[in-house]
Amino acid sequence: MELTTLTLVNYRNYADLTLDFSAGVNVFLGENAQGKTNLLESIYVLALTRSHRTSSDKDLIRWQEKSATISGRVKKTVSDIPLSLHFSNKGKKARVNHLEQSKLSQYIGQLNVILFAPEDLELVKGAPSVRRRFIDMEFGQMNPLYLYNIAQYRRILKDRNAYLKRLQMKQTTDKVFLSVLTAQLVDVGAQVLFARQTFLARLQAAAQPIHAEIANQQETLTLAYQTGVDFTSDADLETVKAAFESALARQEAREIMQGTTLVGPHRDDLQFIVNDNDVAVFGSQGQQRTTALAVKLAEIDLMQEETGEYPVLLLDDVLSELDANRQTHLLLAIQDKVQTFITAPTLSDVARQLIHTPKVFHVQHGEITLEEHAE
């Protein structure tokens, strides 16, 4: 998979910009606040219809403008597809091959991206919500059914929490409707739980050899899914469903008392274990960074296995956060394999030596110049 062109109209600090990219490594060089991260963000938004930096689409629209458009062409093994996203105060419209998509879930997956940013180094020791979002965003790109199920789960969860709040406030005493919402939550939630367990087992299998190599075969990485629903890793879907139903039944009285759903995928977490120790608690900063890097690199092959296409890799100012050893493993892993976009103030000597013929764009005050003889 390759993003061949990108056009921005009234996006962030870009009024009208079109760039053509290399199939290999593309580098945006510039000081802070010049617009290089905005370029990387626009590719992420084009893929996933939302930013990783803000929850408000209004922030994506250029100052004093009423709308913004991101468009690009995605080259795949057997197709070449134009994509576009239009943002305005009326919402956003997504088009694939010039045809408007009625649901964003039908659009996501046309361009698959993996983002590695400094905050992803917090994936290991950050809040559980960070890891849940990581699972949902990455697996959602690979599996449209998972994306649909997690959206349905959130909708039913919102309704169930609202009804639990009514029961808590004694605005109603009827538990029949609660049982209906619970049954709906169990049906969709069990599918989410089962899919996550399957996905994480595959991610662990892909990440373990990468982690071992970076750690010079001295460490073993394990991913443990932490859930309040009691089921084993080899459980089938019906077993997971029964376990979720049982967990909710045990919590019902407390849920009414607290006015919220206390167990389910929205409460779960992912634990990273190295040599039997929780990396978030006992790992050094180096071990935490090695773990995050191994997991991100593992996603590349996993996404290719699932979709038949390698994703586009976005590295937002990450190289400066990694030592020479980790930089080398990262750059050798992606070399001649995936199209990559890198933002950095400057390219380190390690990167200059390892990246074959990068296409280098210099970014200054929103103006882009192509480095001569870069290709």
Question: Which residues carry a binding-site annotation?
Answer: 30-37
Residue 134 tokens read as: 């990581």
> 25-43 burial, b for 16+ CB within 10 Å, e for fewer?
bbbbbbeeebbbbbbbbbb
- Read off the tokens for 15: 């009024």
Residue whose C-alpha is closest to residue 74's, from 104, 102, 107, 37: 107
Rounded Cα gap, residues 111 and 97, in angstroms: 12
Q: Which residues are annotated as a binding site for ATP?
A: 30-37
Q: First and final CA of the chain: distance in angstroms?
A: 20
Tokens of 86: 């239009």
On whether the CB atoms of residues 24 and 72 are closer than 8 A, the answer is: no
Write down the H helix ranges in the chain. 36-48, 104-107, 128-142, 144-168, 176-214, 237-258, 279-282, 285-307, 324-334, 349-354
Is residue 126 packed enough to be buried (19+ CB in 10 Å), middle (13-18) or exposed (0-12)? middle
> What CA–CA distance (Å, rounded) separates 277 from 10?
48
Paired with 18 in beta bridges are: 7
Residue 7 bridge partners (DSSP): 18, 71
Q: Rounded to an integer, what distance in angstroms lies between the CA atom of residue 280 and that of residue 283?
A: 6
Query: DSSP character for 118?
Result: G
Number of other residues whose CB lies within 10 A of the CB of residue 160: 22
In degrees to the nearest 10, what's the CA dihedral of 35, 41, 45, 50?
Answer: -100
